[in-house]
Structure 1
Amino acid sequence: MVEILILYYSRYGSTTEMANLVARGVEEVPGATAKIRTVPEISTVTEATAEPVPETGAPYATLDDLKNCDGLAMGSPTHFGNMAAPMKYFLDNTSALWFSGDLAGKPAGVFTSTSSMHGGQEATLLTMLLPLLHHGMILVGIPSQESALSKTTSGGTPYGPSRHTGGKEGITEDENKLCRAFGARLAKVALALKNAKL
């Protein structure tokens, strides 16, 4: 068995929907299970603290969730061509895992959503990959053989699933397929690497 951590931040629910579809793709692969976690909001007011358990949605991620996973799918909305501050803040606090090398050799990939057609989805995905490279993770994207990637007019890139939410209701069929295909591919790579000596 492999466990894929679906780690995401979502303000209005679009990235949450993608995370659930990625998890569904993971669980379509025999021998793979998905664990969904989110990160809390951050505040410029240093006295503000988040409740230890969110009122709704996925539980907050811990460093142990990262340490114990066999693969990682990380999602964030696009904020000016970069990941949202709560996800960046969470990653900035993973130094202990970097020192121990606990993430090295594990497969990982990224996904994003934005309300603007030219909001910087690909830039966001690329910048989200950088900390994963520093952790020694093996990057997984979406191969061009995935048919929805070549015909989508809404969202999707070789770097990972993306979604354009502006002015439309719900996720498109292509975005759905790409999220699930990405989750399945990540699970298959994790299964292949589970006992590999890298």
Structure 2
Amino acid sequence: MSAALPYVLVLYYSRHGATAEMARHIANGVEQSGLEARLRTVPPVAAETSSSLPQVPAEGAVYCTEEDLKHCAALVLGSPTRFGNMAAPLKYFIDGTSNLWLAGSLCNKPGAVFTSTASLHGGQEATLLSMQLPLLHHGMLLVGLPYTEAALTETQGGGTPYGASHHAGAQGNRNLDKHETGLCVALGKRVGSITRQLAAGASSGQ
């Protein structure tokens, strides 16, 4: 696809698959809004940083490049929770985006976040807020979930106004329920809709 065509980058790290499933639902929502969703992941990190990995992972989304990030029309960032923070592989990738920060490549683009946790009160909101901080430093426009989404008040699992979330359970085997899935789709649709509105305003000179 040409970088000139708009797409929403859904960038995530997933250890056991729950965050990857959320990413797919968010991508579905983006595409329902009429934009392309580009699913990308990041490689794991290890104490031995000289270890090399194949250019393309054996399964799942391909690894994100700086070009993927530079040319996106919007970004949705996802990670499992690690002690109330994003996972190290995603943080490592974001820490390497200073060139884009210096160039203002992400400035004024919509940005949103999502997470999955093993326990219901295991730091979902803290993780979402931690992922929003670098988006703010990049000058992005944060997009959350409004309470017009009924699932926010009906959910018995994940779901926050700061972004989509999922309670995976202690063994990581709790599937996304209908509210969590619905909020993932809603977040993708909202990011896509806002991205289209901003693009329309820019093209009309508003």
TM-score tier by shorter-chain length is over 0.9
Partner SS for 2:151: helix
Question: What residue in structure 2 maps to residue 144 of structure 1?
Answer: 147
Q: CA deviation at 1:83?
A: 0.1
Q: 1:48-82, CA deviations, whole angstroms, 9 ceiling, x for partnerless residues?
A: 12211100000000111011110010000000000
Matched letter for residue 81 of structure 1: G
Q: Which whole-Å CA distance do the structure 2 matches of 1:101 and 1:6 have between them?
A: 19
Greater than 3 Å deviation, 4+ residue runs:
none
- Tell me whether 1:29 sits opposite 2:33 in the alignment: yes
- Tell me whether 1:11 sits opposite 2:49 in the alignment: no
User: In the alignment, which of 165, 184, 190 is matched to residue 185 of structure 1?
Assistant: 190
Question: What residue in structure 2 maps to residue 104 of structure 1?
Answer: 107
Q: CA deviation at 1:29?
A: 1.2
Matched letter for residue 80 of structure 1: F
Quick one: percent identity of the two aligned structures? 53
Question: What residue in structure 1 maps to residue 53 of structure 2?
Answer: 50
TM-score (norm 1): 0.96
- Tell me whether 1:135 sits opposite 2:138 in the alignment: yes
Question: What residue in structure 1 maps to residue 123 of structure 2?
Answer: 120
Q: CA deviation at 1:47?
A: 2.2
- Which runs of no fewer than 5 residues in structure 1 stay unpaired? none
Q: Which whole-Å CA distance do the structure 1 matches of 2:47 and 2:54 have between them?
A: 16
Q: Which whole-Å CA distance do the structure 1 matches of 2:33 and 2:18 have between them?
A: 24
Stretch deviating more after TM superposition (16-25 or 42-51) = 42-51
Matched letter for residue 175 of structure 1: E
- Which runs of no fewer than 5 residues in structure 2 stay unpaired? none
Q: Which whole-Å CA distance do the structure 2 matches of 1:88 and 1:47 have between them?
A: 18
RMSD across aligned C-alpha pairs, in angstroms?
Answer: 1.3
TM-score (norm 2): 0.93
What is the count of residue pairs matched by the alignment?
Answer: 197
- Tell me whether 1:71 sits opposite 2:62 in the alignment: no
